Structure 1
């Protein structure tokens, strides 16, 4: 059985555009997923990346064109200038970590629900109530938003170390157990093809 470590920031529009395709591929190929939310600012600082606010205007103009293209191609509704972005992604990341440890709900739906809150619903995922609502909608106890703070605070920085050690430098980033790596939602078809060869 194949395994995928999925590294992402909950703030990533590209991870949002990935939707449920990773989960669908994993189900098709019998693969498992470990969700590893990370602090993208710290990852960029350690791997040579640049936060959007620090990028040249020409790069940001092209980024916006690409977001609009992919949103259209994928048929994904999206607000390209959300009211609450960027924001503090740690609380939502902690909740994902706690939910993964707790089990019992739909983790993929939780991750997608949190990102949808930013990119569609104009909500601030740094707010406890927003995170609690996302947990409930995905079948988890909303109390994980608070009870999961400790495990989240432990695992979140550990995920960053894992990411750096695995050669991760962006979001979304998919690392297979055989060492194959795929960066970006536009590489999911290649990941699908790779998983098919391992069946």
Structure 2
């Protein structure tokens, strides 16, 4: 029982540090954030921080993993009930499950620049990106199969979808009130799915 209590307390501490980091990174910038600032916001000491994370880099990667897992769950839920007669509805739901978030974009952009200056960290980040892509792709491929389409090259589809998501993010964030920008974003996703998949009967 005591072990369970300690485990739960540790999980709560870790989550509070993650939540505090998200807000601090967004407000201060990743490069200007200190361990002390995260601890102060979470209400903990440096000892509590270092008993959970070895560095701010590790803290960010844990935060990224948490958000990615949540996004994957939301994409799965969005694609669970597909209407073969309305594939655009499925795309709209999947796009909504992976929204462009202003604060998160700023944090990840800053961390990416930081990682590009550190070969070891860059490799870790590339591996995490690949893991996320490989987790999402089977969900999308299965959804396309239920719509009567197959994917000859899953890796190419994944890379193209990431490129569309990242490439349109800045447009959406800099023109938040322009509905045409969001419409074009959705159309691009539809085009990628169309180009990188084929009707089953054409196999």
Smaller-chain TM-score bracket: under 0.3
Q: Specify which structure has the bigger relative contact order, considering alpha-carbon pairs within 8 angstroms and separated by 6 or more residues.
A: 1
Length-normalised TM-score, structure 2? 0.28
Specify the structure having the higher radius of gyration (Cα).
Answer: 2
Structure (1/2) with the larger strand percentage: 1
